[in-house]
Structure 1
Amino acid sequence: MTDAIVLGGTAGVGRAVVDALVARGMTVGVIARGGDRLDGLRRAHPQGRIKTASADVGDAEALTDAVATLVADRAPVVWVNCAMSTAFCKFADLPVADFDKIIRTTFLGQVNGTRLALAHMQHGNIVHVGSGLAYRPVPGQAAYVAAKHAINGFAGAVRSELMQDRPDLHLSLVQLPAMDTPQFEWARNNLDMKPQPAPPVYHPDVAARAVLKAIDGNLREVLVGTSVLKLVFGDMLLPGYIDRRLSRNGIEMQKSDQPAWAAPDADNLHAPVARPGSATGDFDGDVAPTALTVDADRARKVIAGGIVAAAFGLGALVATTAARRRQTSLPHRVPRRLR
């Protein structure tokens, strides 16, 4: 019996989400590539609370077989698409096979997961774990950014279909900021320095709480952290300025002070790394345990209302100033009684 399914749940944000769902009393089915980390995840939780199956989420057939072993007796009510991979490398230097693999894992993994969720679920919640980079691209991660943009479009199309066909099945996007996860230790790296999350950096538990917020409120989209708010709304207002700024420091801000040779040689792009799973990474800077987490639709209404109010106030100010100028420019007239 499985209450929830998490794809990519043995490390990073996915691991934090699994822990949070188990803490709520759910039995969670977890699918990932690394068999050793799946075994470790089962040992880390009370017996029977974790069900596992090994598959590459980018392989639709393998994922179908893995899911079948977890939902044979009951359909889940929560499904979280969380698997991802990336490479820190300029696009011109990124091999075709690496680009394709990132897209297959990070985007098509969510597509494959959603297809299977729809095959088994009539009600409940499907959550897509996205990124603020889905709104504001950064250099050095073209494939990952493309995948996160694609998730937004895919989720929007499917959501509208579900609203018509299955109104009790809710689809959410959770857009994350930089997180302290093993991603930066395990990702393929072509930089001269070891990569790091660009500050501000948040603990993976922040992401897990945001996923729960989306589920509890059946929210369309959740924005996590002030940095994501700045990415979303800043790009709406000043995209050219941000392009120029990122052209100067966009890659540098993703570099740590450790040379690339200090990072482990193996990465997890084409195969899982043989290292224990953990929600957190090895970032040694400030990691925030909490973040401003908002309903994206409500935030847009507030911003739009603020713009309208500002425009109205500016119009009133201009009108008042113009009226005063007209009054002072009128010719002085002597009262009739004094003529």
Structure 2
Amino acid sequence: MSRELPARARLAALTPRRRRALGARSRLLLEAVGRPVSRPALGALLSALEALDESELWLALAVLHAELPTPSQVRRLRRSRELDGGWGALDQLLEDAPRRRGERGAPVPVRVVSDVVLMDVTGLLPGDSVAPGLGAARQLARAWSREAGILPVAWGGSRRRLRELEDEERRAIGLAAPAGRLLGATETALVPHRAAYLLVGAVQLPRSAERIIALGESSANRSGSVGYGLGPLLRAEEHPPQKGEARFSWHLAAQRSLERLVVLGDGDTREYEGWRRMLSAVGRPGPELHGFALPADAAGVAGSITAPGSSAAWLALAGDAGAVLGLAGGRTAAAP
């Protein structure tokens, strides 16, 4: 049975404000994937949904929902398109659409960002993480925050979307002050497309971990993380029970899907090498590992591998220093 009628019914049920937001986000999506933008935008969207590849389906979910999708959402959308074409995909997008709103009940603004490094520092914020290595992680984040084209971000919207940091959050972890906001509003949902995602610190909640997994598996973004050892798993007795291995497993699940992993310290590198070999049992290759010797003190970390413009760890993660660290702020496009 065609899903055209259910999709039309869902469209008819939208409030005028939500319909306008859907139209604006549809145009933003079409521009991001290089498809013709015509009026009405929903007609062009319906046509485009027939031909989008998996990374563009991930992008469609992120832009139209103003939240990064989970793996199950990507699978449902792909399956609906395979079974029922563009109408099936549109109906699934509308069925899965969140009902959450932004400030004053308005739809959440969305911005697609390209050619920029989104550095996720959520796990470094006060009270968020109990993972090992936070001192070294903060040193790295402080050094990288001074690089052109690197934007520190955190999870917002109940850990469903990426956003810019508040000024107080930047100050709390000692990040360099921006020379003026790159994007302009912490309420705006940031959607990376042909960009890079760098996880610094730990992810210990399933809601954000699932979205990082989908970003690593299905999006068109480069991705990587910094590793500080597997202490909460291998030495659980040293960590509070409610904050130990059960929560840290979500961090490893997120890291498993990323492209590269920079590990600080020879011992920690060996731990991650063993973990990566274990992934073959579930048919996962895991990330590329790049190990670096860890200096004796945290200040030495910043001095040895995060010199401005030539961070050895980030160069290993990014692959092409000229394409990533040479950026001058990135490109953005937005929908209200």
TM-score, normalised by the number of residues in structure 2: 0.33
TM-score, normalised by the number of residues in structure 1: 0.33
| Bigger Rg, structure 1 or 2 | 1
